[in-house]
Amino acid sequence: EMEGLRDLPAVTSDGSRITLNANIGLLSDIRVANLHGAEGVGLYRTEFPYMTRTAFPNRNEQAALYRKVLEGFPNQTVNIRTLDIGGDKGLPYFPFPHEDNPFLGWRSIRFSLEREDIFREQLAGILLASPAGHPTIMFPLISSVDEIRQIRFILAEVSKELHQSGHDTLQNVPLGIMIEIPAAVQIVDFLLEEVDYVSIGTNDLIQYTLAADRNNQRVKQYYDPHHPAVLHSIKRVADAAAQAGKKVSICGEMAADPLNALLLLGMGIREFSLSAPSIPLVKQAIRANPLEECQRLAEAVLICRSSYDVRQVLLEARSTLQ
């Protein structure tokens, strides 16, 4: 039954088209994504190629790899996320300085903007590979408009240098950011003016919104996707993107649960990026239910004052939804 789903579109029973992309990291994930009927790549985590080496890869090494990834999705978009290192993700050849709070520290885009040499090398690698497919570039852990302006300035310089040295690269590759810090939710309207699209990283957004380490079992009851603060943050981003006429997707684990996906659908999200094996079940849920029902569910959930109440509503929905 799941086999047959692969080539069917993710469309609600009342006709709304939803996009289901895959999260990938390794080359072997290309096959897994295609196998599960992904429509593209909503999140390519580029830190994996950095992790499995003995030194920072140069632009040509990266370009060779990114080309292979782009060629793995000939008619589809691949959303390449720049290096998201630090926090819990180390590199065997780079000694990160000790920090008391690494998740509040030197990680992700903050690393890239300080180690501009490494960042430029990655952007060059992506641009060199760009003619091989349909890339977009996404930046993680954005907390301000200034960061985006700094990124655009650097990217323009890298692009210019490549052209001056005779390289053929795509012009105007779409640029997006991840919304995964509460500050980004608060200023999402301003951020949207600076980029082509946004993607909500619920793994980190939940962690930072609720001040609960995503890897700490001790506080796992605080790490709660159904907390009203999390749900209203997502709703705010969805509304702001619709208002701005820009694309919004969700690429965190939260949407891998079919009922959560229906809830998020009801809140206005039309594009998801999931670990590929989660795609069939989510697609099945989408195809079995009308959008109208999802919107009713979202309405009922968004007036809840507590996670407990949210879970009661979801439990009830389990019996009415397919």
Residue numbers of the site for ligand PEP (CB under 6 A)? Answer: 43, 45, 84, 180, 201-204, 251-252
Tokens standing for residue 240 = 């702001």
CB of 201 to Mg ion, least distance (A): 4
* Binder of residue 128, out of ligand PEP, Mg ion, none (CB less than 5 to 8 A by kind): none
C-alpha distances in Å from residue 163, one per residue of 51, 199, 275, 278: 30, 30, 36, 41
166 in Cβ contact with 128 (< 8 Å): no
Point out the residue whose Cβ comes nearest to ligand PEP.
201
* Binder of residue 202, out of ligand PEP, Mg ion, none (CB less than 5 to 8 A by kind): ligand PEP
Binding Mg ion by CB under 5 A: which of 204, 253, 271, 293?
A: 204
- Which is nearer to ligand PEP, 248 or 300 (by Cβ)? 248
- Which is nearer to ligand PEP, 132 or 247 (by Cβ)? 247
- Which is nearer to ligand PEP, 13 or 203 (by Cβ)? 203
Rounded Cα distance, 23 and 43, in Å = 5
Tokens standing for residue 296 = 């009713």
Tokens standing for residue 204 = 């980190």
Q: Which long-range contacts (CB under 8 A, 24 or more apart) does 154-158 make?
A: 154/116, 154/119, 154/120, 154/123, 155/123, 157/120, 158/120, 158/123, 158/124, 158/127
Residue 295's beta-bridge partner residues?
Answer: none
- Does 201 participate in binding Mg ion (rule CB under 5 A)? yes
247 φ, ψ (degrees, to nearest 5): -75, 140
CB of 45 to ligand PEP, least distance (A): 5
Give 95's Cβ-side CA count (13 Å radius). Answer: 2
CB of 215 to Mg ion, least distance (A): 12
Instruction: Using CB under 5 A, count the residues that bind Mg ion.
Output: 3
- Which is nearer to ligand PEP, 123 or 206 (by Cβ)? 206
- Which is nearer to ligand PEP, 88 or 161 (by Cβ)? 88
CB of 312 to ligand PEP, least distance (A): 26
Applying CB under 5 A, the span of 57-65, 194-202, 205-213, 231-239 interacting with Mg ion comes to 194-202
Give 296's Cβ-side CA count (13 Å radius). Answer: 9
- Which is nearer to Mg ion, 147 or 180 (by Cβ)? 180
Rounded Cα distance, 104 and 209, in Å = 12
* Binder of residue 45, out of ligand PEP, Mg ion, none (CB less than 5 to 8 A by kind): ligand PEP
- Does 253 participate in binding Mg ion (rule CB under 5 A)? no
Spell out the residues 6+ positions from residue 268 whose beta carbon is closer than 8 angstroms to its own: 235, 238, 239, 242, 248
Rounded Cα distance, 23 and 135, in Å = 14
CB of 44 to ligand PEP, least distance (A): 11
- Which is nearer to ligand PEP, 128 or 206 (by Cβ)? 206
CB of 102 to ligand PEP, least distance (A): 13
Contacting positions for Mg ion (CB under 5 A): 180, 201, 204
